[in-house]
A = this chain, B = another copy of it.
């Protein structure tokens, strides 16, 4: 059985300056409760790996606003003017990666792969500094693994063993990040007994989950 914990306690164990993956796409499928705690406990100097920086006041956008992030690796920051502002003011460094590449890099980190070859971004600004390989006459970029100290994950359901099920488009980066974080914190809307999520419906096996936190949503 896993032990559940409070958001406050969970976040207190995270050091400043951690490299952190956070699930979600424009805030959908993001563990808001854990993010609120990061802000409340003022955990700074973070390196953030996430799809986008959402909007001010939403999802990881709250971490940006609170100036807790020093470096972000993401595919899109256009919807959060505060990210742009901090980037231009050089308060925050931003590494932009194509979305399909970003998720494969995280997958490599979690799946024990040394890298992956993608045709995406060949010949673009996003290829700068990356190794290029020719395979059967076609050019590919070699993209390297991304790992993190911490993964913050949002799930719909979590059973007593930590088995997770996500909901609709709130899935996005969550299951892949659950593989790539050294310590995995899951915020779940509903906690259910073992057996309530059938084996074929488990999206992330509980063996990957370290801490379970109940979200503020009633269920």
Copies in the complex: 2
Chain B hits for A203, CB < 8 A: 200
How far is A166 from B104 in the complex, measured between Cα atoms in Å?
A: 24
Chain B hits for A138, CB < 8 A: 114
Decide: A200 near B115, CB < 8 A? Known: A135-B144, A144-B135: no
Decide: A135 near B119, CB < 8 A? Known: A167-B200, A168-B200, A201-B201: no
How far is A115 from B165 in the complex, measured between Cα atoms in Å?
A: 30
- A-B CB contact pairs (8 Å), 28 listed: A104-B113, A108-B117, A112-B118, A112-B119, A113-B117, A113-B140, A114-B117, A114-B118, A114-B119, A114-B133, A114-B135, A114-B138, A115-B116, A115-B117, A115-B133, A115-B140, A116-B117, A117-B142, A133-B142, A135-B144, A165-B200, A166-B200, A167-B200, A168-B199, A168-B200, A171-B200, A200-B201, A200-B203
- Which residues 131-155 in A have Cβ within 8 Å of B in the complex? 133, 135, 138, 140, 142, 144
